[in-house]
Structure 1
Amino acid sequence: MKDHKKLIKEIFQNIFESPGYNEAIVKRYFSTDYVQLVDGKTLHFNEFIKHIKAVKEAIASMSVTFDTIAQDNDIIFTNHRVTATTKEGRTSEVQVIAEFHIQGGQINYCNELTRQISGDPREGDLGSRH
């Protein structure tokens, strides 16, 4: 069985923790058929691209800490925390519970719940902003 846990960590490092937006990197890791269910919203690939761009426009830096990561064949479950600092200097921490499906080496589905642990309420929608 292929270790997709390493892939998930690589994705978060290369897309979310890295500064700036690089669509080629996003397309390397996410299928164009990608669907994300997040906090009661459904994002398809193009909305997901808008989500990443919106986060990158608002956030100066971001770090991800995985509390739990488990794999069952091509499904990865994570319980992780995201700490972000906005370009205005506000810091926020969000807990994320997510289920990722991998197909052909790319994520094609994610079901995610986010909960703001601390920080300004203006960053409460970072998991689904687009």
Structure 2
Amino acid sequence: MSQDSESFIRQLFKAFTDFSTDVESLRGFLTPDYRQLVDGRELTLDDFISHAKALRTHLHRLDINVQQIVCQGNKAATVHIAHAIRSSGESSRIKVIAFYSFKDGRISLIDELTYVLEGGNADRELGSVQ
């Protein structure tokens, strides 16, 4: 799936950051047993959906700029920058280093670390806010 992995990840990012799309549609990108590890926290598929809903509540806009992407077989890795703009107008930039595993054509695991490049203490929680 390596060639398709890059476009699949980019499609996920597009759907994740398009706040006009139905959050439930994100389930189509992820396996039912999906796990996401973010800075020491573990999210299930339902937690991830709650996370996406929370971001849409707290943020006015979210953009993801992929800096690096490597895909091999059923694995992939990205380095990307998330630019979040809150409803208040405050913004933050967060660097994310993520590893992905695919199963049955969908993502089964994302293991990521985040680092706030610009923003406040509250921005450290954006990667797993519920």
TM-score, normalised via structure 2 length: 0.93
How big is the shift at 1:2?
4.5
Q: How many residue pairs are counted as aligned between the two chains?
A: 129
Unpaired segments ≥5 residues, structure 2: none
Distance 2:14 2:119 in 1: 22
The percentage of counterpart residues that share the same residue type is: 26
C-alpha offsets along residues 58-99 of structure 1, whole Å, 9 cap, x if unaligned?
111111111110011011100000001001111000000000
For residues 49 and 109 of structure 1, the distance between their equivalents in structure 2, rounded to whole angstroms, comes to: 14
Matches within 5 A, 1:20-99: 20=20, 22-99=22-99
Q: More displaced, 29-38 or 118-127? A: 118-127
Distance apart, 1:46 and its partner CA:
1.2
Deviation at 1:120, TM superposition (A): 2.6
Deviation at 1:53, TM superposition (A): 0.9
The CA RMSD measured in Å over matched residues stands at 1.3
Q: Does 1:6 align with 2:14?
A: no
Query: Residues 2 and 71 of structure 2 are in contact (CA less than 8 Å); yes or no, is this contact kept in structure 1?
Result: no
The answer for the alignment partner of 2:109 in structure 1 is 109
The answer for unaligned runs of 5 or more in structure 1 is: none
Q: CA deviation at 1:111?
A: 0.5
